[in-house]
Structure 1
Amino acid sequence: MVFRSGSVQAMVGMLGAAGRLFVGVSVGAAIAFAELAFLGWAALVTLFGLIRGRRPDGIERPARHLVEVSRWRIAAFLPGGDEVEHLDDYPGRRAVAYLSARWLVGLLGGLVALLFLYGLGTGAVWARDLFVGRSSALLVVSQVIGGLVLLFLAVQGFLGVAALDRWLARRLLLPSDRARYERRISELAASRAGVVAAVDAERRRIERDLHDGVQQRLVALGLLLGQARRTTDRQRSDDLVGQAHDEAREILAELRDVAWRAYPADLDNLGLAEALARVAERAGGSVTVDCRVGRLPSAVETAAYFVVSEAVTNAAKHARDSRVRVVVGGGGGQAGPTVRVTVTDDGPGGADPAGGGLSGLARRVAALDGSFAVDSPPGGPTSVTAELPCPSGSSSAAAVPLPRSDGAR
């Protein structure tokens, strides 16, 4: 019973794949006529432009529209067409070149589809003659053998047209290896420069915190101790020492705060979930954290932590009394598993992605080959999203329990 069920499912799957292949090739044949019409119109526009001494304009945009239709068809119906599904960075001239060659493949696919339909019609006539007794046994055998041969040729024709369609899209739309390498080098150079800038900005922030906060308090502490040493009044000396003790405690707390903002120790010791819980506690507002991942690689945890910390700080600064929701969860993409970090607040919106804090986060995420996006329309809400690549097996599938913070603690 299991074998029969599996066989039926396999047969249904094969028929479904064959049906999608037939539809994809047939739709490609229909699109070929639209591509021919476009090429004729483009030739006329180019000719008139040359006569008038002007560069032909307005050709590339409709070409891209036609290419997008063909790209969708390849990804949706043809086997192995997933590689062109997210293709969106090809130039307009490549689109025109692709259409100039694609219509031939489309017409070839249409011819194969017509021959297949003709074979089906002929088979139906043979079956009718067999049932009414007009065909002899020898003729029936020869017709069956010929039909199977034609069916095999038709299937090979469909597969060949599909392979040619995919190859043409890869050859004329996808960037070359050299172009991909050059783009990757540019991305790495920009990412490295961004990381250096982010590190310098973080150093300046720490220096400013130490200079404006801790250093000033240390000066005050020194003055208090100096007064305590110089005074001859015992009660006055005890009061000054008490004030100095309180000031020392404040300095210690501020130093811990500066160290925490530079890099939280809980991130290494207890993990991302506990570090985010501390962020929620220190935010002083309504912050809800939902962390659905376990321990991650150190670089991923660090980037996720600072995305949340900076986004929550911005919400507290620019959207007072807003409710902030933090969600950290696993995801999957073409490049493999990812960790998705989303911070949303119901503030007035209008956040500037080019601002110092958010642009620094974008550079930090880009250094890990991740993606970073800010959606903050006027009137809100504001949503900050980061996708961080995560090696397979490093993220726990189970959610990590995390206490929620719904206000200052």
Structure 2
Amino acid sequence: MSSTAERIVSRAWRVCAGLVLGALTSLPELLFCVLTGPALIAPLTRRWTFAGARWLAELERSRIARFLSSENSGDYGNDRAWRYLAARCVVGGLGAGVFVLTVLGALTGVVMLGQLLSGEAVGGGDDPRWYDPIAVVLGGTLLSFLAVQGLLGVAALDRALARHFFGPSDKERLRRRVRELTTTRAEVVEAVNTERRRIERDLHDGVQQSLVALGMVLGRARRALGSAPAPARVEELVRQAHEQSQHALNELREVTWRVYPIALETAGLEVALESLVERSTVPTSLTYALTERPDAATETVVYFVVSEAVTNAVKHSDCTRIEIEVFRNEKVITVRVTDDGVGGATPTGAGLSGLARRVAAADGTFAVESPVGGPTVVRAELPCA
């Protein structure tokens, strides 16, 4: 048996075991709800009733997590635990009914099969009928299908009921959202500061140095004009000054493009990414599958995720090819940048950590997979309207 088949069989047995346990606990839960229902009126007995309901609910939550592979939060009120048990005993009873019918059907099938093998008529009678084998096979197949679907339905109800009741209250959801927004605000501030420092560094190390070199060349040209006639020397210095001015202009254009490319505002994200691909010094391919243009904030984040990821790959990965993918799945835009470099990229590095903060500021998720030897995959998922 293959490993995939073994996993499927193992999972099926685990789910069946979980449903059997759920069927067995449904009767105690039903008795608990019936007996403790009147106790909910008095405040003193209500506290003890909720404590017992919480204990039983935790057992159910553990069962569902272990056997049905559905993790749920333990942050729920005690009153919700009692209401969960009241609904869960119905689902457990339904599962018990499915199991009982399945066992009875299996026993009936064994009896019918024995009658067929012994040459007797199925269901009694003097002579066997020609259609008895067909009826047994078709009936057994149909009942087996219904039994499996019934068990799957009970498992789905069990998971859905747990997701509905085992979760944070509205107040806790609001508290968590406030914490998320507080963290996001801090990420926005840090991302802005990081971007400002990067711009200052680019201006200082690139444009400023080019302008300093240009000033030195012009100073030498001015001194050459004040000295003995040397037209050839002056012409050479003017040529150098012109080249240096062009270099400074290119540096400035590169910095402004990294700050905010004008193509992103005028032509959209696809054109801006195409320009980025054309300017890359490593062969780069782009797969753009967005049918509608995202909002401006999302476009900006997507562009800078791709831009920084490509820049890091070119500088540090020693790659020979980069692949960029931008696509949408329901309400999430996914960005994936893959390079065939040496790998070993750390998400805590300066560039990637800045990207993580920028994505977090947009309520997105950011991940980096970069095993030693490659490939490196930078992935960002951003919500969109």
TM-score class normalised by the smaller sequence: 0.5 to 0.7
Change (3 A) 1:94 1:347: farther
- How much does 1:256 deviate? 0.3
Distance 1:28 1:344 in 2: 43
Residue equivalent to 1:313: 311
Q: Which residue matches 1:259?
A: 256
**Cα–Cα, structure 1 residues 179 and 95, in superposed 2: closer, same or farther, change >3 Å?**
closer
Q: Which residue of structure 1 aligns with residue 295 of structure 2?
A: 297
Change (3 A) 1:216 1:166: closer
Give 1:378 deviation, angstroms. 2.5
Q: 1:96 to 1:250 in 2, by over 3 A?
A: same
The 2-side partners of 1:34 and 1:350 are apart by 51
Change (3 A) 1:227 1:267: same
Map 1:2-401 onto structure 2 (within 5 A).
Answer: 28=19, 30-33=21-24, 65-68=62-65, 88=72, 90-91=73-74, 106-111=88-93, 169-171=163-165, 173-231=166-224, 232=227, 233-235=229-231, 236-294=233-291, 295-332=293-330, 337-391=331-385
Q: CA deviation at 1:32?
A: 4.5
Note the residue ranges of structure 2 that are not aligned, 5 or more in a row. 1-14, 29-56, 105-152
2:318 is paired with a residue of what secondary structure? coil
- CA distance in structure 2 between the partners assigned to 1:354 and 1:240 by the alignment: 46
Measured in 1, the distance between the counterparts of 2:89 and 2:376 equals 50
> Which string of whole-angstrom CA distances, capped at 9 and with x for unpartnered residues, describes residues 6-31 of structure 1?
xxxxxxxxxxxxxxxxxx99975642
**Pair 95,64 (structure 1): closer, same or farther in 2 beyond 3 Å:** farther
Contact preservation (8 Å) 2:27, 2:89: no
Deviations 1:313-346 (A, max 9, x none): 11112211332111111112xxxx2211111112
Task: Please give the secondary structure, in 2, of the residue aligned with 1:320.
Answer: coil
Amino acid aligned to 2:240: Q
253 and 176 in structure 1: CA distance in 2 versus 1, 3 angstrom threshold: same
Residue identity (%): 44
CA contact (8 A) 1:26 1:110 kept: no
Question: Which stretches in structure 1 are left out of the alignment for 5+ residues?
Answer: 1-23, 38-59, 73-84, 122-158, 392-409
Question: Residue type matched to 1:379 in 2?
Answer: G
Instruction: Tell whether the 8 Å contact from 1:105 to 1:164 is kept in structure 2 after alignment.
Output: no
Q: Normalization by structure 1: what TM-score?
A: 0.60
Provide the C-alpha distance between the structure 2 equivalents of 1:351 and 1:246, rounded to a whole number of angstroms: 37
- Aligned partner of 1:273: which letter? E
CA–CA separation in structure 2 for the residues paired with 1:389 and 1:105:
35
- Contact kept in structure 2, 1:32 and 1:102, CA below 8 Å: no
- The answer on whether the counterparts of 1:29 and 1:106 sit within 8 Å (CA) in structure 2 is no
Q: Tell me, yes or no, if the aligned pair for 2:334 and 2:382 is still in contact at 8 Å.
A: yes
Q: Given the superposition, is the C-alpha separation of residues 329 and 109 from structure 1 closer, same or farther in structure 2, using an over 3 Å criterion?
A: closer
Q: Which amino acid aligns with 1:33?
A: L
- Within 2, Cα distance between the matches of 1:215 and 1:204? 15
Cα distance in 1, alignment partners of residues 157 and 290 from structure 2: 41
Aligned-pair distance for 1:248?
Answer: 0.8
Bigger RCO of structures 1 and 2 (CA < 8 A, at least 6 apart): 1
**Once the 2 structures are TM-superposed, how far is the Cα of residue 103 of structure 1 from its aligned partner?**
6.7
Tell whether the 8 Å contact from 1:325 to 1:343 is kept in structure 2 after alignment: yes
The CA deviation string for residues 267-302 of structure 1, in whole angstroms up to 9 with x for no partner, is 112221221122222221121111112422111111
Q: What root-mean-square deviation, in Å, do the aligned CA atoms of Structure 1 and Structure 2 show?
A: 4.0
Contact 2:322 2:339 in 1 (8 A): yes
Q: How many residues align?
A: 288
Residue 130 of structure 1 corresponds to: none
Aligned-partner Cα distance in 2 for 1:307–1:32: 50
Partners in 2 of 1:33 and 1:101 — Cα distance? Answer: 19
Alpha-carbon contact 1:288-1:326 (below 8 Å) kept:
yes
Tell me, in whole angstroms, the C-alpha distance in 2 between the residues paired with 1:219 and 1:272. Answer: 35
Distance 2:333 2:159 in 1: 35
What code does the residue aligned with 1:375 have?
A: E
Query: In structure 2, do the counterparts of structure 1 residues 329 and 63 end up closer, same or farther at CA, with 3 Å as the change threshold?
Result: same
Instruction: For residue 351 of structure 1, report the CA deviation from its aligned partner.
Output: 1.5
TM-score (norm 2): 0.64
Give the deviation of 1:204 after TM superposition. Answer: 1.1
Paired amino acid for 2:179: S
Q: CA 1:62–1:384 in structure 2 vs 1: closer, same or farther (change >3 Å)?
A: farther
In the superposition, relative to structure 1, how do residues 187 and 284 fare at CA in structure 2: closer, same or farther (>3 Å)? Answer: same
Change (3 A) 1:166 1:342: closer
